[in-house]
């Protein structure tokens, strides 16, 4: 194994790319796969807003503009929260949806 194996491994580590469009502009950042959109956006200057710790409020809702196939699917909890808060079923909760590979672009309705 070469002495610089660590650097080599870091260079090929899988990454995902998230772009968030909001009233504050467009931001893009990279992260490791299988992180929630909310967690990834935490690396941005204006992260997606959140309002609860149990996926119940819908504050973090986003519209997926591109890369929907790179996200985990909706689970029952996410569908219930969208319905209970009167949001379209086509939206996603950034605190539930994970970016598993590639890239995604979302529109955030509320950012910090
Ligand atoms: S932060 Fe409340 S539903 Fe995602």
Q: Is residue 10 part of a domain?
A: no
Q: Give the count of domains, the chain.
A: 1
Q: Is residue 6 part of a domain?
A: no
12-19: list long-range contacts, CB under 8 Å, 24+ apart. 14/101, 16/40, 16/70, 16/99, 16/100, 16/101, 16/102, 16/103, 16/104, 17/102, 17/103, 17/104, 18/99, 18/103, 18/104, 18/105, 18/106, 19/66, 19/103, 19/104, 19/105, 19/106
Q: Is residue 3 part of a domain?
A: no
- Bridging pattern class, strands 16-22 and 61-66: unpaired
Range of the domain at 88: 15-108
- The DSSP code for 49 is P
Q: Is residue 4 part of a domain?
A: no
Q: Is residue 1 part of a domain?
A: no
pLDDT digits (tens, 9 = 90+) for 7-65: 555 567 789 999 999 999 999 999 999 999 999 999 999 999 999 989 999 999 999 99
Instruction: Output the CA 13–ligand 1 centroid distance in Å.
Output: 29
Q: Is residue 2 part of a domain?
A: no
Whether ligand 1 lies within 6 angstroms of the CB of 95 is answered as yes
CATH number, position 34: 3.10.20.30
Q: Which two tokens stand for residue 110?
A: 């509320």
pLDDT digits (tens, 9 = 90+) for 67-103: 999 999 999 999 999 999 999 999 999 999 999 999 9
Whether ligand 1 lies within 6 angstroms of the CB of 81 is answered as yes
Q: How far is 90 from 87, CA to CA, in rounded Å?
A: 8
Q: Is residue 24 part of a domain?
A: yes
Q: Is residue 63 part of a domain?
A: yes
């Amino acid at each position: 194994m070469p002495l610089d194996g660590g650097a080599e491994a870091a260079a090929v580590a899988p990454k995902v790319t998230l772009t968030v469009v909001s009233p504050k502009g467009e931001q893009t950042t990279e992260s490791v796969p299988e992180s929630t959109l909310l967690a990834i956006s935490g690396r941005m200057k204006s992260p997606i807003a959140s309002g609860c710790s149990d996926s119940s409020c819908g504050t973090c809702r986003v519209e997926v503009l591109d890369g929907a196939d790179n996200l985990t699917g909706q689970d029952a909890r996410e569908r219930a929260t969208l319905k209970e808060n009167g949001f379209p079923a086509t939206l996603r909760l950034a605190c539930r949806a994970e970016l598993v590979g590639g890239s995604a672009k979302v529109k955030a309705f509320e950012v910090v």
